[in-house]
Amino acid sequence: MNNINKVNHLAIIMDGNARWANSQKLPYSQGHLVGADRIKKLIPHFIELGIPYVTLYAFSSENWRRSKIEVAFLLKLLYHYLEKETASLHKNGVKIKVIGRLNLLNDKLKKQINDAVELTKNNNIITICIAFSYGGRTEIVDACQNILDSGKTNIDEEEFKNYLYDPTMPDVDLLIRTSGELRISNFLLWQIAYAELYFSLKYWPDFAKEDIIAALDDYEKRKRTFGAR
């Protein structure tokens, strides 16, 4: 893979858990559980493929509109995932980050997130960033509010990045969305300005190593000009 087409930041919209569950005649909760397990199975492949930064869209700002039962289940799922997997991820050199309006989460979950982030902050094999209670528009609005609060009246793009949820996040090279939907859904709007887009028909619980490789192979064939000729 040439340098211009090296994937330094892979972003994934993990779509289709509920539809996968429906296709298997299972409750939607089972789809979310299998989807979470899919993350666990794919992280070693991300490492093997040499992708240093992966952002996973787990829970959007719009998802708060879902039923209270489903929202509560998803909050508990993140808590238990971090509770069970953080030690193993840490052992394998994974740095964990979580971005979004985390102030909306309960104290127990916020503590679990903070503990995971703190434990893994010096790891450097791969960064796994979980976008939770996240919206691209709210990230930009929150950045603008923080700039106003700072008293700054003149700012450029490079300085603006310092007010995003993760100022060190690299621009997205490749964005994958599963389940056949052809939209961005308010995900990393600032960071995907020049990202290549790849859409898979597979539901997230069925997405496997060979599907990542297929997306990377497709990406390698793209000509990235970043507005130039």
Catalytic residues: 15, 63
According to DSSP, the residues that pair with 59 across neighbouring strands are: 132
Hey, what's the torsion of the CAs at 78, 97, 46, 26, to 10 degrees? 10
Which tokens is 215 given?
């997306």
Torsion sign (Cα): 20, 34, 52, 103:
positive
Distance CA 52, CA 125 (A): 7
Residue among 105, 71, 98, 84 at smallest CA distance from 37: 84
Distances (CA, A) of 91 to 27, 113, 150, 178, 194: 33, 17, 39, 29, 34
